[in-house]
């Protein structure tokens, strides 16, 4: 496997060369391909987590990562409060809107609205296993309906000028048939989808919670690798269980990109290390990166956003670091208080930095017992 510092070969470019040799129509395809550099590293769509504040923070850490919104149902995009559901800051680009749904006409309308709102890609969710999603016949159960997905993709491609992509599983329940997975991909690709994010495990629609569905069904990265080997004309991203930089780098030997979800959210500095390793640049400290967020935070506070809505995404910044627990504790205990502002973040940083300098060995215990030291510090 490549080390975190190694820059893997740009297999997206070579894929495109192979593709254009095999498929002379590719360059005229109505569905544009995405710049291969923009898909090497991406942060997964995560409901309740990857909102606009989270994405702005991730962008700061990883200037080259592709970012995804939480899933938004097509109906909500069409009828709901777009200023909230499609909230996006210009710094987020490239950023994809993930849609849920299974009605081609509605998905097409929502995709158009998303593209008009400035999203760089529209991604269709074919991987979410929750009961609510199953009741609405979208998400992972669409793996069983390739023709409906193909019709949806075709309608979306026709309706919007940005790439339409699909995030899928390998199959559902005990269906472990590579040929069926491949047939799903082929049919959807024929409809105009050039990029697939493969969450490389099945979804079990009965008996497992969504959380268990991200952990229990075994990972089969080899299916994603085989798909890329057999269909080099498609852009294939692998997702699921990627825990560190070495693992992420290893995937790039086989596919076009690695999409990280929970690891990126719980340890966001991993994103920064990957971005620097794969794209170059200087590694900045966690504190430097955090302080670079100050203008954004202050502008949001000015607009009436509560600090806690932003700081909840920052809690993992010092994960595995000395003082990381104190950082989380200062932020989580202070951010919901009326008037909480940037000074709280500075205070959390100061406490963490004092740990890192080795000045305060009892501090973490004191914090756990009710912040006496902090209160003394004001």
Q: Is residue 54 near ligand FMN by the rule CB under 6 A?
A: no
Q: How many CB atoms lie within 10 A of CB 121?
A: 25
Residue 223 C-beta: closest distance to ligand FMN, Å: 15
- Residue 41's DSSP bridge partners are 258
Judge whether 192 is annotated as a binding position.
Answer: no
Residue 104 C-beta: closest distance to ligand FMN, Å: 19
Residue from 352, 277, 319 nearest 8 by CA: 277
Judge whether 123 is annotated as a binding position.
Answer: no
Find the binding residues for ligand FMN in span 189-218 (CB under 6 A): 199, 214
Among 15, 128, 289, 330, binds ligand FMN (CB under 6 A): 128
Judge whether 262 is annotated as a binding position.
Answer: yes
Q: Are 99 and 125 in contact, with CB atoms under 8 Å apart?
A: yes
C-beta of 261 vs 323, nearer to ligand FMN: 261
Q: Is residue 125 near ligand FMN by the rule CB under 6 A?
A: yes
Among all chains, which residue has been given the structure tokens 């199959």?
Answer: 171
Burial class (CB in 10 A: 0-12, 13-18, 19+), 230: middle
Q: How many CB atoms lie within 10 A of CB 95?
A: 24
Catalytic residue, candidates 126, 128, 141, 168: 128
Q: Are 8 and 249 in contact, with CB atoms under 8 Å apart?
A: yes
- Enclosing H/E stretch for 113: helix 104-116
Judge whether 46 is annotated as a binding position.
Answer: yes
54 part of the active site: no
Judge whether 272 is annotated as a binding position.
Answer: no
CB-based contacts of 115, cutoff 8 Å, min separation 6: 122, 160, 161, 162
Integer Cα distance of 378 and 375 in angstroms: 5
Residue 163 C-beta: closest distance to ligand FMN, Å: 16
Judge whether 377 is annotated as a binding position.
Answer: no
Q: Is residue 107 near ligand FMN by the rule CB under 6 A?
A: no
Integer Cα distance of 263 and 234 in angstroms: 26
- Residue 197's DSSP bridge partners are 167, 237
Residue 214 C-beta: closest distance to ligand FMN, Å: 5
Among 240, 268, 316, 324, binds ligand FMN (CB under 6 A): 240
Going 120 to 126 to 128 to 133, the CA torsion angle's sign is positive
State the DSSP string of 53-64: HHHHHHHHH-TT
> What is the contact mask toward ligand FMN in residues 251 to 290, using x (rule: CB under 6 A)?
---------xxxx---------------------------
Please identify the residue of the shown chain whose CB is closest to the bound ligand FMN: 261
Among 45, 232, 257, 334, binds ligand FMN (CB under 6 A): 45
Find the binding residues for ligand FMN in span 302-361 (CB under 6 A): none
Integer Cα distance of 308 and 332 in angstroms: 8
Find the binding residues for ligand FMN in span 157-176 (CB under 6 A): 167
Residues lying near ligand FMN in the complex (CB under 6 A) are found at 44-49, 70-71, 98, 125, 127-128, 167, 199, 214, 239-242, 260-263
Residues with catalytic annotation? 128
Which residues line the annotated binding site for FMN?
A: 45-47, 98, 167, 199, 239-241, 261-262
């Amino acid at each position: 496997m490549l080390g975190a510092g190694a820059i893997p070969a740009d297999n997206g470019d070579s894929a495109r060369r192979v593709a254009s040799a095999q498929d002379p129509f590719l360059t005229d395809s109505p569905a544009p391909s995405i710049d291969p550099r923009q898909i090497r590293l991406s942060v997964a769509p995560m409901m309740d987590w990857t909102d606009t504040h989270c994405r702005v923070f991730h962008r700061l850490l990883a200037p080259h990562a592709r970012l995804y919104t939480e899933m938004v149902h097509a109906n909500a995009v069409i009828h709901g409060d777009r200023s909230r559901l499609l909230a996006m800051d210009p710094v987020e680009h490239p950023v994809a809107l993930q849609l849920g749904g299974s009605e081609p006409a509605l998905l097409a309308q929502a995709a158009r609205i998303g593209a008009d709102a400035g999203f760089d890609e529209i991604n269709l969710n074919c991987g979410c296993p929750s009961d609510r999603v199953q009741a609405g016949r979208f998400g992972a159960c669409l793996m069983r309906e390739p023709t409906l997905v193909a019709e949806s993709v075709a309608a979306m491609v026709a309706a919007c000028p940005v790439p339409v992509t699909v995030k899928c599983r390998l199959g559902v329940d005990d269906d472990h048939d590579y040929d069926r997975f491949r047939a799903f991909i082929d049919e959807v690709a024929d409809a105009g989808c050039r990029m697939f994010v493969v969450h490389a495990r099945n979804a079990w629609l009965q008996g497992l919670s969504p959380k268990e569905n991200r952990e229990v069904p075994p990972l089969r990265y080899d299916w994603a690798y085989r798909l890329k080997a057999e269909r080099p004309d498609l852009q294939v991203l692998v997702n699921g269980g990627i825990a560190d930089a070495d693992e992420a780098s290893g995937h790039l030997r086989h596919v076009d990109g690695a999409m990280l979800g929970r690891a990126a959210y719980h340890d966001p500095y991993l994103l920064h290390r990957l971005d620097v390793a794969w794209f170059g640049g200087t590694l900045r400290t966690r504190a430097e990166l955090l302080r670079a967020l100050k203008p954004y935070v202050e502008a949001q506070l000015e607009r009436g956003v509560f600090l806690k809505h932003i700081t909840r995404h920052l809690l993992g910044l010092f994960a595995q670091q000395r003082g990381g627990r104190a950082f989380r504790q200062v932020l989580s205990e202070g951010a919901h208080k009326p008037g909480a502002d940037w000074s709280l973040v500075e205070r959390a940083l100061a406490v963490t930095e004092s740990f890192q300098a080795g000045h305060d060995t009892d501090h973490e215990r004191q914090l756990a017992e009710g912040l006496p030291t902090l209160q003394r510090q004001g």
